[in-house]
């Protein structure tokens, strides 16, 4: 069903609620300094300027996202304290930063970490260090306070809320049969090939490469998965994990989402034990903060890396300090380049082939996250109870997570709803997301989200007080068909005195991939 038809059918009217709230909703853009990043692109920060000052250190880490922070932790664990971490934005964390709206903590990007599987050993160690996981009577247990509380997710479908995200309410037997078939297919593929997180521990078997060669949508066509509800759900999952629709990611990526973790569970599947996820009001910024805090002055924010050059016996890293507007040259033994691939290719002098090639075929999906402060809990439509993740069938956005879901105090209070909007290419988006992010005023996004969320929550316009919007022009690499083959076996990437670490090198971006790459780069 077309989105507008659905909205009309479900609500009776299509509301432009931002304009009808009866009070002014404050808001604007926050979180990412678009101008600073683009000044680097336009060459406005470096070209030919000698440094104002030269400094020495043993290791420079360029980029303070999860990969860069993981590298910093690994250096500390190895007893190497003489390093700096240089980050472009005013705070570290990259896509895993957090914020607050009217005093209520919320994520600006990444909001959860699934309980890591056996291959993500470094992430397991980190969680142990942070006290999130411990061994009790020979078994690993996770701290209940940080596991997502029940109910975890619900879907607004056909005018009511249902448990879980797979459409089941009133769907026919043919749909249920396709759910069961897809579940069996995923299980069979899981047995045949290693779908592993992190990908650098996978063997790039012929089966994985054949799935990589094909778009997920084409694979579904080939295998006879034609059911509209199944396909809506699978497309939703691709947009949720990769920021792009199922016609634009590989069959490997579409299946990896399920096969690397909990599988796909058809309704009524008794073994449908869903893998637990860890989450916090501020999202993965909870983890990020604990990685960043021990760094003290070694973490230099508002420091834009403009050039990385290998020299005989060392590395030179040039930086523009946006606070003092001065140029600093760091001389180091080595550099860990924890930057997105397209930026690394721009700043590394004489980039190695592996980097130039990767930058030519990796494309990034843009994203937008809107944090909506509501002064009291929203009224609800019938059906499943308010959950952590609340999705509306057939919309462009991915729904919202409630920042107060983990609160132990049950008193109804103000909260923040984080609305996620992927803007990569998909059946409902034309692929001009980056331009939209630059051109549209924040009020356009406000109206979009109000139109979607007012259907299940008609009182949202009246209760919303402020909306802060974070724009990511180049959020994460899209695992497009052929990417695995082009990346080669996605192992660790090194060249001379440079080691590369970023989620991009895995072909898709999640905490476990970024963290493991940062750790192993050291």
Positions touching ligand FAD (CB under 6 A) are 40, 62-68, 86-89, 94-96, 109-113, 284, 304-305, 338-340, 343, 347, 367, 369, 420, 472, 475-476, 502-503, 509-511, 514
Q: How far is the CB of 66 from ligand FAD (least distance, A)?
A: 4
CB nearer to ligand FAD: give 227 or 235: 235
Neighbours of 316 (CB within 10 A): 18
Please work out, in degrees rounded to the nearest 5, the angle formed at the alpha carbon of residue 109 by the alpha carbons of 105 and 112.
Answer: 80
Question: Closest by alpha carbon to 398, among 381, 416, 419?
Answer: 419
CB nearer to ligand FAD: give 293 or 376: 293
Q: How far is the CB of 32 from ligand FAD (least distance, A)?
A: 8
CB nearer to ligand FAD: give 7 or 61: 61
b/e burial code for range 144-163 (CB count within 10 A of at least 16 → b): eebbbeebbbbbbbeebbbb
Tokens representing 109? 């990007």
476-to-206, 246, 426, 516 alpha-carbon distances in Å: 26, 16, 15, 16
CB nearer to ligand FAD: give 259 or 288: 288
Q: How far is the CB of 438 from ligand FAD (least distance, A)?
A: 17
Q: How far is the CB of 148 from ligand FAD (least distance, A)?
A: 11
CB nearer to ligand FAD: give 257 or 511: 511
Q: How far is the CB of 186 from ligand FAD (least distance, A)?
A: 21
Tokens representing 516? 């493991």
Q: How far is the CB of 415 from ligand FAD (least distance, A)?
A: 18
Q: How far is the CB of 411 from ligand FAD (least distance, A)?
A: 27
CB nearer to ligand FAD: give 176 or 478: 478
CB nearer to ligand FAD: give 346 or 357: 346
Q: How far is the CB of 350 from ligand FAD (least distance, A)?
A: 17
Q: How far is the CB of 475 from ligand FAD (least distance, A)?
A: 3
Contacts of 505 (CB under 8 A, 6+ apart): 341, 358, 487, 490, 493, 517
DSSP 428-492: TB-S-HHHHHHHS-HHHHHHHHHHHHTTT-TTHHHHEEEEEEEEEEEEEE---TTHHHHH-S---
CB nearer to ligand FAD: give 41 or 413: 41
Burial category of 364 from C-beta neighbours within 10 Å (exposed 0-12, middle 13-18, buried 19 and up): buried
3-state helix, strand, coil in the chain (%, to 5): 35, 25, 40
Q: How far is the CB of 241 from ligand FAD (least distance, A)?
A: 8
Instruction: Tell me if residue 16 falls in helix, strand or coil.
Output: coil
CB nearer to ligand FAD: give 253 or 463: 253
Question: Closest by alpha carbon to 391, among 232, 177, 164, 200?
Answer: 164
- Nearest position to ligand FAD, beta carbon: 65
b/e burial code for range 221-259 (CB count within 10 A of at least 16 → b): eeeebebebbbbbbbbbbbbbbbbbbbbbbbbbbbbbbb
Q: Where are the alpha helices (DSSP H) in 297-409?
A: 341-347, 353-361
CB nearer to ligand FAD: give 476 or 499: 476
Q: How far is the CB of 116 from ligand FAD (least distance, A)?
A: 10
With contact defined as beta carbons under 8 Å apart, do 397 and 419 qualify?
Answer: yes
Tokens representing 414? 């103000």
CB nearer to ligand FAD: give 240 or 380: 240
What whole-number distance in Å separates Cα of residue 296 and Cα of residue 192?
A: 47
The DSSP element (H or E) to which 511 belongs, if any, is helix 511-521
């Amino acid at each position: 069903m077309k989105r507008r038809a659905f909205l009309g059918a479900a609500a009776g009217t299509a509301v432009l609620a931002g304009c009808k709230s009866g009070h002014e909703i404050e808001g604007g853009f926050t979180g990412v300094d678009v101008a600073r990043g683009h000044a680097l692109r336009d060459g406005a920060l470096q070209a030919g300027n000698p440094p104002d000052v030269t400094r020495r250190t043993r290791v420079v880490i360029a980029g303070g996202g999860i990969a860069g922070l993981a590298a910093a932790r690994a250096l500390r664990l190895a007893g190497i304290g003489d390093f700096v971490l240089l980050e472009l934005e005013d705070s570290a964390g990259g896509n895993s930063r957090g914020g607050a709206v009217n005093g209520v903590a919320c994520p600006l990007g990444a909001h959860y970490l699934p309980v890591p599987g056996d291959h993500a050993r470094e992430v397991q160690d980190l969680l142990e260090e942070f006290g999130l996981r411990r061994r009790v009577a020979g078994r690993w247990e996770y701290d209940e306070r940080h596991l997502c509380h029940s109910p975890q997710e619900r879907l607004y479908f056909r005018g009511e809320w249902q448990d879980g995200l797979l459409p089941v309410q009133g769907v026919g037997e043919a749909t249920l049969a396709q759910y069961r078939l897809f579940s069996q297919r995923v299980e069979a593929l899981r047995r045949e090939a290693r779908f592993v997180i992190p990908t650098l521990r996978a063997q790039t078997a012929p089966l994985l490469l054949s799935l990589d060669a094909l778009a997920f949508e084409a694979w579904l066509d080939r295998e006879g998965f034609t059911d509209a509800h199944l396909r809506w759900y699978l497309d939703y999952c691709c947009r949720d994990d990769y920021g792009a629709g199922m016609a634009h990611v590989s069959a490997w990526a579409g299946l990896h989402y399920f096969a690397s973790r909990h599988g796909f569970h058809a309704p009524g599947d008794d073994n449908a034990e869903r893998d637990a996820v860890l989450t916090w009001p501020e999202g993965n910024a909870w983890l990020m903060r604990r990685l960043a805090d021990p760094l003290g002055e070694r973490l230099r924010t508002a420091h834009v890396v403009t050039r990385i050059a290998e020299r005989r016996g060392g590395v030179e890293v040039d930086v523009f300090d946006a606070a003092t507007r001065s140029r600093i040259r760091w001389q180091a033994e080595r550099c860990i380049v924890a930057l997105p691939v397209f930026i690394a290719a721009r700043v590394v002098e004489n980039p190695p082939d592996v980097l130039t090639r990767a930058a030519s075929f990796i494309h990034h999906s843009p994203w937008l996250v809107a944090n909506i402060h509501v002064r009291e809990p929203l009224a609800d439509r019938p059906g499943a109870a308010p959950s952590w993740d609340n999705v509306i069938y057939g919309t462009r956005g991915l729904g919202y997570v409630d920042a107060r879901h983990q609160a132990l105090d049950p008193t109804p209070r103000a909260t923040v709803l984080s609305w996620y909007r992927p803007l990569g290419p998909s059946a409902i988006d034309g692929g001009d997301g980056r331009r939209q992010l630059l051109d549209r005023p924040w009020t356009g996004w406000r109206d979009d989200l109000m139109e979607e969320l007012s259907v299940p929550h008609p009182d949202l316009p009246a209760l919303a007080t402020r909306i802060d919007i974070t724009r990511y022009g180049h959020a994460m690499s899209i695992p497009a068909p052929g990417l695995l083959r082009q990346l080669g076996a996605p192992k660790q990437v090194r060249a001379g005195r440079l080691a590369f670490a970023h989620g991009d090198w895995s072909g898709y971006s999640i905490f476990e991939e970024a963290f493991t790459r940062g750790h192993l780069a050291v």
